[in-house]
Amino acid sequence: MMGLSGRKSVASDMHLKRRKNGAPDPSLTRWRLRHQIRPGDIGYLTYLHGITYAKEYGYDQRFEAYVADGLAEFARSFNRDRDRIWLAETSDHIVGSIAIVRHSKAAAQLRWFFVDPKYRGTGMGRRLLKRALHFCKQRRYRNVFLWTTSELIAAQRLYTGAGFKRTRKKTHRIWGRTITEERYDLDLRNG
């Protein structure tokens, strides 16, 4: 688990990437979105999740395996009419992701929401989430849900800002730590 000094270091790194007027460094706003899966994407997303969550939260290799299993199944059963993944990239490097996976005819799951630490605070996360929810509405899903952990506070702010409500919590030992997982749901019929 990252100590307070590690969190301060990450926070000060974020401030270094902002200009004096509070706007993000312009070089960090030059990225594009795509939604086609290319060879190497699944492995690279697994890698990004694995190394980032190990560094920031102390998750072990079982978290990487969990991400790999889900992404592999997504690639195998992908249905372009019901599922979608968006990849934010710059210079052919993935720096962000989000996906919608069909759960049932009426419900979808939001998964693999990731923003590279260097790109946090640039609006990437908000843009990814907006695209994902727009897709859900276009596909006439009535509900979209996600699972996150209690320590991902910035992501939770994005979720609740978009109208998600926490509906479940469970604390257990997983990925080498005791973690509280939280489920958030959004009823798309009300907006």
Q: How far is CA 5 from CA 11, 49, 153, 177, in A?
A: 10, 22, 18, 20
Q: Identify the pLDDT of residue 50.
A: 97
Residue 10 counted as domain residue: no
pLDDT at residue 9 in the model: 34
Backbone angles phi, psi at 126, to 5 degrees: -65, -40
Asked whether residue 20 is assigned to any structural domain, the reply reads no
| 9 domain-assigned | no
DSSP bridge partners of 110: 100
pTM: 0.84
Q: How many domains does the chain have?
A: 1
**Structural domain includes residue 94:** yes
Task: Compute the distance between CA of residue 86 and CA of residue 34 in angstroms, rounded to an integer.
Answer: 6
SS3 82: coil
Residue 183 lies in a domain: yes
Domain assignment of residue 96, yes or no:
yes
- Residue 155 domain boundaries: 26-190
When mean pLDDT is compared across 1-10, 19-28, 106-115, the lowest value belongs to: 1-10
pLDDT band of 85, cuts 50, 70, 90? very high
Residue with tokens 């312009």: 26
Residue 81, domain CATH = 3.40.630.30
16 phi, psi to nearest 5 deg: -65, -25
For position 22, what pLDDT does the model report?
54
Query: What is the pLDDT, as a whole number, of residue 143?
Result: 97
Contact 162, 156 (CB under 8 A): no
- Across the range 166-182, mean pLDDT stands at 96
Q: How would you classify residue 14: left for phi > 0, otherwise alpha for psi between -120 and 50, otherwise beta?
A: alpha
Answer whether residue 104 is part of any domain: yes
Instruction: Give me the pLDDT at residue 30, please.
Output: 73
How far is CA 84 from each of CA 20, 97, 130, 176, rounded to the nearest angstrom?
37, 11, 13, 30
- Closest CA relative to residue 67, chosen from 103, 112, 99: 112
Sign of the torsion formed by the C-alpha atoms of 51, 88, 44 and 159:
positive
> Lowest mean pLDDT: which of 2-16, 86-100, 104-118?
2-16
| pLDDT digits 0-9 by tens, 65-77 | 999 999 999 999 9
pLDDT for 114-162, tens place per residue?
999 999 999 999 999 999 999 999 999 999 999 999 999 999 999 999 9
**pLDDT surpassing 90 at residue 62:** yes
127: in domain: yes
